[in-house]
A = this chain, B = another copy of it.
């Protein structure tokens, strides 16, 4: 055993977990989402920044507002999933740095006074947090169906009227349904990805 993580956990999070395209009718509760968040909030980011924001789409009206902006190939599954979460980066995350990085509160002004720098940082670190969230969905015994096929500007304007948020992914969440996934696609080999200097 080269890994410390037990085999069942490896399977749950990576080896047997799959991106789901269909889901059962079983609902996903707020308690489940809270348990996911309370686990993955500890995932590391630069300067402990926490740009990730999560919008849970639960109302019929909210679902319709979202689905209109999804790519055609994603509309049906976004309409049918038990729960849909919009993951977005808050480009004004630096306002919280003084409280979230108490040993170095000056990071807010030293590094993040420029909007373009903030936005790049929010995208990168928000994506790290989005990945932790997807791992967390799987840790809850649920399947995730992350999507990036949508009109991003449309979603940003529809759900984040302040103009300070950028959608990173929309994630369908639930128990997998029938024929939930395609056969697994290949992965690049270690030799294709890893080099040594």
Chain B positions within 8 Å of A101 at CB level: 185
- Are the CB atoms of A2 and B127 closer together than 8 Å? no
Known: A14-B43, A188-B50. Contact between A2 and B35, CB under 8 A? Answer: yes
> Cα distance A35–B138 when bound, in Å?
20
- Are the CB atoms of A100 and B44 closer together than 8 Å? no
- Are the CB atoms of A52 and B193 closer together than 8 Å? yes
| Interchain Cβ contacts under 8 Å between A and B, 11 examples | A5-B12, A6-B8, A14-B43, A15-B39, A53-B193, A56-B195, A56-B196, A100-B186, A103-B182, A121-B148, A131-B132
Chain A interface, number of residues (Cβ within 8 angstroms): 84
Chain B positions within 8 Å of A57 at CB level: 196-197
* Interface assignment of A174: CB less than 8 Å from any CB of chain B: no
Chain B positions within 8 Å of A146 at CB level: 44, 46
- Are the CB atoms of B3 and A139 closer together than 8 Å? yes
Chain B positions within 8 Å of A135 at CB level: 13, 43, 131-132, 135
- Are the CB atoms of B9 and A56 closer together than 8 Å? no
Chain B positions within 8 Å of A50 at CB level: 187-188, 193
Chain B positions within 8 Å of A34 at CB level: 190, 194
* Interface assignment of A27: CB less than 8 Å from any CB of chain B: no
Within 8 A of B (CB), among A101-121: 101-103, 121
- Are the CB atoms of A54 and B194 closer together than 8 Å? yes
Known: A5-B12, A5-B13, A14-B40. Contact between A96 and B188, CB under 8 A? Answer: yes
